[in-house]
Amino acid sequence: MSASLRTKRTREKERMPLERGVGKCENNHTGSFGYPTRPAEPYPFCHKCGKPMVWTCPNCQSPLPDDSSELLEARFCRYCGTPYFENGEPSAAPG
């Protein structure tokens, strides 16, 4: 019986850039990156309304939920409760 000596590769948690992910703007226009037909990297602005896209929690950098329905509903980070957008709610039409 020989116990093979295996070098333990402990990978410290690094802030690896996400390979793929989902995001949305404050008007709930969703987007994704890293998928075959999608841009390779997160893009900064919504292509529908020009609002900034959010790809990760601004506080803890957790990725947004990749389940599409959950992504649409999400306004706050699941891990720290920080609102993804300053308003917290979709801005109502002015007037």
Is residue 64 a contact residue for Zn ion (CB under 5 A)? no
Is residue 40 a contact residue for Zn ion (CB under 5 A)? no
Q: Using the 8-state DSSP alphabet, how is residue 32 labeled? A: E
Kindly tell me which residue out of 80, 87, 88, 91 binds Zn ion, with binding defined by CB under 5 A: 80
Rounded least distance, CB 23 to Zn ion, Å: 10
Is residue 72 a contact residue for Zn ion (CB under 5 A)? no
Rounded least distance, CB 3 to Zn ion, Å: 42
Torsion-angle region of residue 41: left (phi > 0), alpha (psi -120 to 50) or beta? beta
Which has the closest alpha carbon to 45: 53, 37, 54, 35?
A: 53
Is residue 75 a contact residue for Zn ion (CB under 5 A)? no
List the beta bridge partners of residue 45.
52
- Asked if 79 and 63 touch (Cβ cutoff 8 Å), the reply is no
Binding site for Zn ion (CB under 5 A): 25, 27, 29, 46, 48-49, 51, 57, 59-60, 62, 77, 79-80, 82
